[in-house]
Structures are given as C-alpha cells and as structure tokens.
C-alpha cells in the first residue's frame, strides 16, 4: 500500500518528499497518533504545516526560527511566535512587537497574528511542529528536528539571498546548516522576558532584514500588521 503524504504546499512537497518516506518520519507519525489518543496536541492537525502553506517554497525570502509551538489552549496555529486573532500575544511576542515599533517607528500591533508576514515570504518555522497541551518541549527529539533541519538545508542549497533570523542560542545553533556565502544571518538573544534586555531590544532586525533583501535584489517586507 502506498504511503499517504502530508497535505503541504506543492513546492514544499516536491522538495521534502524524500523525508516523508524515511523511517524517522514513520516513527514520528506513530508517536503523534498515540499521543493524540491520550492528550490534546497543538496546533490542530490541519495547521501543523501552516508555515509552509502560507509561505510557498519558491516565495521564501526570510526565515525566522522558533523552538516549539505555544502549549496553551488556542495559541498555536502553525507559525512560530504567532497567535490567532483575538488571542493575547504571549510575552516573547510582546517584546518582538516592542522592538518592531522602536525599529520602524510604527504602532505596536493589536493582533498577534503574523500571517501577513508569512504571506510575504517570511517563513515562520518552529524546529518542532507539535506540542502536548501545557507541556513545553514535550515533542522535542521525536523526529521533527530531523525534518526541519532538512527544511533549512534545502533552503540553503536551493535558494540565494535569504535572510535567516536566529533569536536565542537554540536557533543560533542551526547556523551550521546555512551557507553563509549565499545567505545572510542575523543573530540576537531570545525575545523572552528572561533575556530580552541582553541585546534583543535594539537589534533592529526588521530594518536590517529589509536592507539585506534590497541588497539581494528582493522586495522588502512590510512589517506593519
């Protein structure tokens, strides 16, 4: 019997198809089936690959890397750092918005929904794409990292002039997957309240990203939400 492939944007499916047939991905799917029998799992199944659906492979210009989805009810919807309309922005996103406002002299957004960024080519990628309710990091080291590392490798290999935004030590450790002769990397501490004053505020990554995109001959991102 032929294996069913995940529902994911066609360009990404073409690039990532080999991953869906690997043993680790079978193990991951089996783990998720069992997990969902016992616990609520976020985001909803139809949103697990939302980052890829909003940002087709051929349109990626910027990659922002998160760690894993929000684990509170109603928060995760498949884009890192983002929450659906009507859900209060979590602390890290509040700090991202403060820096955005200072950097570009725009009003702090009212909604924490970052789909507008994703639709312009900003891939909002979590390293782990699912989580158990109320248990941060509960789906780490189950196979998702193999998959998302390959996402970064493929972007690095097949594209040019991308801006990778790496906030915090976890994201920064992924720089080994990126060819810096072809791409740009911006690094800062994580925007969480624990570290934000150690260099996230003042990093100006939003304006710097647009400067780098223009340098690479690409259209800048309209960061205003």
- So which residues are the catalytic ones? 68
Q: Answer for the pair 68, 92: CB distance below 8 angstroms, yes or no.
A: no
Count of beta carbons in the 10 Å neighbourhood of residue 130: 24
Sheet strands side by side (includes 122-126): 122-126, 62-66, 163-167, 184-188
List helix spans (H) across the chain.
10-20, 23-38, 50-54, 91-104, 115-118, 144-158, 169-172, 205-215
Determine the number of helices (DSSP H) and then strands (DSSP E) in the chain.
Answer: 8, 6
Phi, psi at 167, each rounded to 5°: -105, 120
Distances 112 to 87, 90, 118, 160 between C-alpha atoms, Å: 7, 8, 13, 30
């Amino acid at each position: 019997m032929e294996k069913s492939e995940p529902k994911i944007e066609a360009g990404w499916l073409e690039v990532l198809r080999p991953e869906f047939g690997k043993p680790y991905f079978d193990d991951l799917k089996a783990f998720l089936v069992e997990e969902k029998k016992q616990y609520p799992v976020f985001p909803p199944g139809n949103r697990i690959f939302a980052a890829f659906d909003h940002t087709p492979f051929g349109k990626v210009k910027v990659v922002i890397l998160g760690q894993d989805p929000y684990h509170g009810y109603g928060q995760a919807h498949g884009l890192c750092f983002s929450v659906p309309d009507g859900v209060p922005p979590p602390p890290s996103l509040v700090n991202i918005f403060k820096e955005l406002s200072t950097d570009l002299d725009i009003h702090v957004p009212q909604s924490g929904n970052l789909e507008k960024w994703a639709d312009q080519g900003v891939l909002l990628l979590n390293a782990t794409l699912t989580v158990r309710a109320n248990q941060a990091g509960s789906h780490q080291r189950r196979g998702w990292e193999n998959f998302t590392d390959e996402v970064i490798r493929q972007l690095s290999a097949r594209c040019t002039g991308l801006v990778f935004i790496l906030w915090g030590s976890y994201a920064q450790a992924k720089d080994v997957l990126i060819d810096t002769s072809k791409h740009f990397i911006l690094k800062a501490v994580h925007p969480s309240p624990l570290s934000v004053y150690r260099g996230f505020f003042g990093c100006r990554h939003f304006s710097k990203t647009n400067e780098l995109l223009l340098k690479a001959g690409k259209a800048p991102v309209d960061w205003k939400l």
